[in-house]
Amino acid sequence: MSTKPAASAQIVAHVRDELMRHPPFSRMEAAHVERLVGAASEAYYAPGETIVAPSDGPVTRLICVKSGAVSGRRSPDEARPAFTYEVGDLFPVGALLGARPVAATYTAQGVIEMSNLVPLERSNGLYVTYLINYTHRTSELFRRSDEEIFALYRRDLESLFPKAGRTVVDQFVFRAPFVEPMWTLGYQDARPPHSVIPGRLYLSCTAQLYPRVNSWNSCCEVVEGMLPQLLGEIEGIPAARAAS
């Protein structure tokens, strides 16, 4: 889990509106929900990654599912989750109020909403959802046809969200044989700069991720690291021109 700097007012307002579609937020004052969002931190989890487990000790945070789904298993031997939390759900309320560890292991499901920071009017009310599965490039799953992959993923999606299948507008399969780059020795010095043409052209891309892992959080950190330089150089342009 990574903690992000304070979000912009536009993002806070967008997340507030998204939460207020679900109880208990739908019964709260907008200002109170906005205050909660402003004080919260955002985290992303890979499919199958543990979010909280009994071994973590007494719970100290309340978690709200912003996208995707979370499953809970009381035993690793359970074939199916004992329960599932969806967007807008809060957990683990009982453990937090009781200042005790959780009784189940909560893991992230492989459904990630990729459009959760974009106002819905920009996408005509449609969501971009990413179903992810890490597998070796020589595995049987990787070699399956697009049609077989679609059938498997739609089955799994509907097991989490029974009505989701009928709302799918379009679908695509993307295969990547490698997940992480092998950074060359001395790449820290070869990493491309953010400022290509100061005041005019700036670069934020995965080639600048080093030494981070290739993830959404890391991409956000790269952009956040570029913005102060961009703003600082742009602010200095009028003064430089006036002096010239």
Model pLDDT for residues 201-233, shown as the tens digit of each residue:
999 998 999 888 777 778 888 998 899 999 989
Smallest CA-to-CA distance from 89 within 11, 161, 25, 2 is with 25
Band the pLDDT of 2: cuts 50, 70, 90: very low
**Would 227 be classed as within a structural domain?**
yes
Band the pLDDT of 170: cuts 50, 70, 90: very high
Same structural domain, 145 and 233: no
- The segment with the largest mean pLDDT, out of 34-38, 58-62, 120-124, is 58-62
**Would 175 be classed as within a structural domain?**
no
Same structural domain, 64 and 118: yes
The CATH number for 88's domain is 2.60.120
What is the H or E stretch that residue 107 is in? strand 105-108
Same structural domain, 78 and 155: yes
The structural domain count of the chain equals: 2
Band the pLDDT of 91: cuts 50, 70, 90: very high
The pair of three-digit structure tokens given for residue 120, joined into one six-digit string: 């819905």
Same structural domain, 222 and 145: no
**Would 56 be classed as within a structural domain?**
yes
Same structural domain, 114 and 77: yes
3-state secondary structure of 196: strand
Same structural domain, 80 and 158: yes
pLDDT at site 11: 72
Same structural domain, 201 and 128: no
The pair of three-digit structure tokens given for residue 172, joined into one six-digit string: 């695509």
Instruction: Choose one of 167, 196, 214: the last residue of a domain.
Output: 167
pLDDT at site 116: 67
What is the H or E stretch that residue 112 is in? strand 111-113
> 100: domain range?
44-167
Same structural domain, 209 and 158: no
CB 78 within 8 A of CB 32: no
Same structural domain, 118 and 192: no
**Would 128 be classed as within a structural domain?**
yes
Same structural domain, 117 and 222: no
Chain position carrying tokens 């991409």 = 219
**Would 138 be classed as within a structural domain?**
yes
Residues facing 113 on adjacent strands:
129
The mean of the pLDDT values for the chain is 82
Smallest CA-to-CA distance from 104 within 88, 116, 115, 91 is with 91
Same structural domain, 127 and 73: yes
Same structural domain, 192 and 239: yes
